A and B are shown apart, each in its own frame.
Chain A
């Protein structure tokens, strides 16, 4: 078969395939999944998440169990959306005594009904640096909310949570504006940001009204000598809603988890199905072609594995061995080759008797040559359909084993996201953004492969199309 024939036959198959709309639909979804599986890791809001999924420090700036940002559209009282403020306006003022005053001012447009949960400042630099943080409010009042000396290091950033460190300063700010208001205020009891982001008035401590508008947060750092250094800080506004799909109770961004989970779902599904279906096809042909003792052995093995309950067996073996994704893939292959074995076996029994096999034998071909060069190519198209059709079940098995806490802890999969959702009470607390997306993705990926497989099946077995 030369190249021209191959492209011609491929084009023919594509024309056949293109007639089945659902197959095209499945292929389109699958294409999107493949693209996201390859490039998604670089496009997500938290690019390092693949390595740091279980690293608490990596996620510490996110709000906990926050709903998706778009839920604000339907909420009566709008919450703050979590954002990162970078690229501040920077200025340096060199004083005569060798001290450099560096200012970084961040503009923050506040339009929610609830104040931010926290504002976190991250600073890197070198040496002891006094830091002052002030907030200029839309009503042209200015409050100094933080003043301390930080020991900065170039690599690990100093992290200041303003809501935890500003209560006393905010009471002082209220006192400077209206001493009467501050008389009953205690730094231990107030909600600091509830006051900072509200109109000053009688009810500021009990029922504050949000003061919307442009805020400017100014970080001032003193470089006491030229040996010390301050790098541009970043500011994280921690809100009530976060990202496209919200966060879980370990502050992880769910959208990021969903996207990086695609890669493993595809790897597990495709690798397992390709290996197991090819094994099933080859073993089926070998059993049919050689017959006798080989046939007997393989058929007994097939019956034994067919009898083994898959999930209980997977669970027991995962519990005995250290859960690893490669152990899982190997085990599932051991089970799934049976799926195509019987059909291929019966087809190969017929093909074996065809005249071209006879002719090949007469020309002196060896048994293996006949198996690989003559019988396998005929049965291979059949195996494409069964590969695609077996993938949904494989993905569900992985998710099931993960849901029971027996998944590989070095990867991120949808099943593991659902496992943490279930074990941390997402169902009871109605954290739907944590439960629905991973399951929906499992279903969607299963659906795309099912569409694809059924379309291939229709082309290869046109009998079922109509009557």
Chain B
């Protein structure tokens, strides 16, 4: 039964996610507790300013009572295991609380609001990149696989080797040095000029700022993808059914696109889907260098300022997305390749 297997896979995914959140919660336990306590102190101090007509003694007991209540509410007075457990429960319910220092552009300290601001920017840059890289990479890989050891294939493999160990952020530094300072045709970073233009001019300005980071990432990324696609397709081209198809006189074009691409689809989809879902994590360093205030940038600022609520939230959201990617992959494998059975060994 397909839906039963789907259900089993989804439940399994959720369980893995819960374990991951528990790990994060343990990792950040001591700092997160301290943050929580100081946030409670702050909150209570703000609340009691309303009670002006109370005496000094009454005020002290009130503050103590309020604090004790809050501490009980967040389970901070309980054992280590229970504190980790309750923080995980809050994280799983997307209750990330307030950040320690980082603020959204509206001034809000709600973690959801801060991430909600950064996430779309990362998606615009990195998800676009993944889409472009995968599309172009598949086309180039197929082209290379048509003539293995041909000129295009060999030069593609060569460039892949060269770009293999090349840090994308280093290329970003060079790109800025050349195209923003030596030949100033692109801005050196940021989202828009100040003040931000509106309407069509705003869109053009946005695209202009997007161009250099996007070009850098795409130009570096396509080679590896193309090489992988080429390897996947080539290994399928050696299967017996391809030889049989060729023996039947089917055109090379049809063999490549019809037979081989179809059987290569699960592996290629793995590339595409995992790339797409993990792209929301952005790239910590590249975002920093281009001054692109997305998730990666937010994460690094949070590390520097020890903003644990933000760290906890970004890590768990990233993991959630990756997890969803894995589950979706397992589910579509069945459609792409009927030979693959979902999960079970039956």
Chain A residues with CB under 8 Å of chain B are: 22, 303-304, 307-309, 311-313, 315-317, 319-320, 391-393, 395-396, 399-400, 403-404, 418, 421-422, 427-428, 430, 432, 435-436, 438-439, 442-447, 449-451, 454, 463-464, 466-467
Contacts and interface: CB of A to CB of B under 8 A. Distances in A.
B79 to A, nearest CB: 22
Contacts of A438: 170
A292 to B, nearest CB: 14
B38 interface: no
Contacts, number: 127
A312 B170 CA distance: 18
Interface residues of B, number: 51
Given A304-B20, A418-B170, A428-B181, A309 B238 contact: no
Interface in B287-321: 288-289, 299-300, 303-304, 306, 311, 314-315, 318-319
Given A307-B20, A312-B281, A396 B165 contact: yes
17 contacts: A22-B158, A308-B23, A312-B281, A316-B27, A316-B303, A319-B306, A404-B285, A404-B300, A421-B173, A427-B176, A430-B182, A439-B174, A443-B162, A443-B165, A445-B165, A450-B165, A464-B234
Contact of B318 (A309, A392, A463): A309
Q: Which 7 A-B pairs have the closest CB atoms?
A: A446-B165, A392-B165, A439-B170, A450-B164, A443-B166, A450-B161, A396-B167
Contacts of B167: 396, 399-400, 439, 442-443
Nearest to A439: B170
A467 B165 contact: no
Interface string B169-201: 111011011000110000010000000000000
B161 A447 contact: yes
B231 A464 contact: yes
Given A307-B16, A404-B300, A435 B173 contact: yes
B148 A442 contact: no
Given A311-B284, A391-B165, 16 more contacts: A307-B20, A309-B278, A309-B318, A309-B322, A312-B281, A312-B284, A319-B306, A396-B165, A432-B177, A435-B174, A438-B170, A443-B170, A447-B161, A454-B157, A467-B234, A467-B238
A430 B181 contact: yes
B19 A304 contact: yes
A467 B174 contact: no
Contact of A467 (B148, B158, B188): B148
B177 A430 contact: yes
A403 B235 CA distance: 38
Nearest to B278: A309
B164 A436 contact: no
A438 B171 CA distance: 12
Contacts of A466: 148-149
Contacts of A395: 165
A390 to B, nearest CB: 11
Contacts of B162: 443, 447
B173 A439 contact: yes
A310 to B, nearest CB: 10
Contacts of A435: 170, 173-174, 177
A445 B323 CA distance: 33
A311 B284 CA distance: 8
B16 A422 contact: no
Interface in B222-262: 231, 234-235, 237-238
Nearest to A400: B285
B237 A467 contact: yes
B177 A309 contact: no
Contacts of B311: 316
B165 A454 contact: no
A435 B173 CA distance: 8
A22 B181 contact: no
Contact of B169 (A22, A393, A400, A443): A400
From B177, B231, B314, name the one whose CB has the most chain A CB atoms within 10 angstroms.
B177
